[in-house]
Amino acid sequence: MKLFYSPGACSLSPHIVLRELGLPFTLEAVDLKTKRTESGADFTAINPKGYVPALQLDDGEVLTEGAAIVQYLADKHAPGRLAPLAGTVERARLNGHLNFISAELHKAFGPLFNPALAAEAREAAVANIGRKLDVVENALADGRPYLTGPDFTVADAYVFVVLSWAPKLGVDLARWSRLNEFSQRVSTRAAVQAAMAAERLPKAA
């Protein structure tokens, strides 16, 4: 398998999952501005959407969308380990987390990647992010170490990556103590450390 990625982007989530599962894979970086891969390929020919992640399987099939990729990897290679079995209430809860992270939290950070964002718009975006972070913080209110309980799942990998953007984009996470503890906990995992090192990323906040 080959994972097309951009350092520190949401593609870090399936990268972590690949390492959690101990699967053989290669990496190919993508310049998201030029849409060229490090080997010189036109990335839009690989993923017409033009963004990472994209996972090319051994048979040439290409999967896109991070939440779909991580579920495929978990179900295919370690059923029930990083994602509860399909058809269970536990899986539905996991999907709820993945959908919220993707459609709400991840999307909320989008405006902050625009360096030309006006101050008023930035203030509104940060406030919106805060409301989404409140939801995730509340999921950990009972003291559970991970989003769905005692076990690390693909949803934890995804939200960890999104949280890692906060300090880079000037979002202070100080008031979300559980999320800070969560990020520290996840950052110590061997697969996370290995993925971040491979992408030449600094230690997580």
In this structure, the answer to whether residues 18 and 93 fall within a common structural domain is no
pLDDT for res 203: 65
In this structure, the answer to whether residues 178 and 151 fall within a common structural domain is yes
- Banded pLDDT at 202 (limits 50, 70, 90): confident
- Banded pLDDT at 111 (limits 50, 70, 90): very high
In this structure, the answer to whether residues 32 and 95 fall within a common structural domain is no
Q: What is the pTM of this model?
A: 0.96
Furthest CA-CA distance within the chain: 49
Q: Is residue 141 part of a domain?
A: yes
Which among 173, 166, 205, 168 has a CA at the least distance from the CA of 187?
A: 205
Give Cβ neighbours of residue 132 (< 8 Å, ≥ 6 apart): 100, 104, 105, 108
In this structure, the answer to whether residues 181 and 147 fall within a common structural domain is yes
In this structure, the answer to whether residues 127 and 179 fall within a common structural domain is yes
Q: Is residue 204 part of a domain?
A: no
> Average pLDDT of 95-116?
97
Instruction: Give the Å distances, CA to CA, from 164 to 8, 62, 75, 133.
Output: 8, 27, 26, 13
In this structure, the answer to whether residues 101 and 170 fall within a common structural domain is yes
Q: What is the mean pLDDT of the chain?
A: 97
Percent of the chain surpassing pLDDT 70: 99
In this structure, the answer to whether residues 67 and 157 fall within a common structural domain is no
Q: Is residue 12 part of a domain?
A: yes
Percent of the chain surpassing pLDDT 90: 98
Residue range of the domain that includes 19: 2-80+193-198
In this structure, the answer to whether residues 101 and 184 fall within a common structural domain is yes
pLDDT (tens digit per residue) in 133-170? 999 999 999 999 999 999 999 999 999 999 999 999 99
In this structure, the answer to whether residues 114 and 159 fall within a common structural domain is yes
> Average pLDDT of 83-109?
98
pLDDT for res 205: 40
pLDDT (tens digit per residue) in 168-185? 999 999 999 999 999 999
CATH number reported for the structural domain that contains residue 162 in this entry: 1.20.1050.10
> Average pLDDT of 31-44?
98
In this structure, the answer to whether residues 103 and 177 fall within a common structural domain is yes
β-pairing, 36-37 vs 26-31, is: antiparallel
In this structure, the answer to whether residues 104 and 143 fall within a common structural domain is yes
**In angstroms, rounded to a whole number, what is the distance separating the alpha carbons of residues 174 and 204?**
15
Strands across the sheet containing 54-56? 36-37, 26-31, 2-5, 54-56, 62-64
In this structure, the answer to whether residues 112 and 158 fall within a common structural domain is yes
CATH number reported for the structural domain that contains residue 72 in this entry: 3.40.30.10
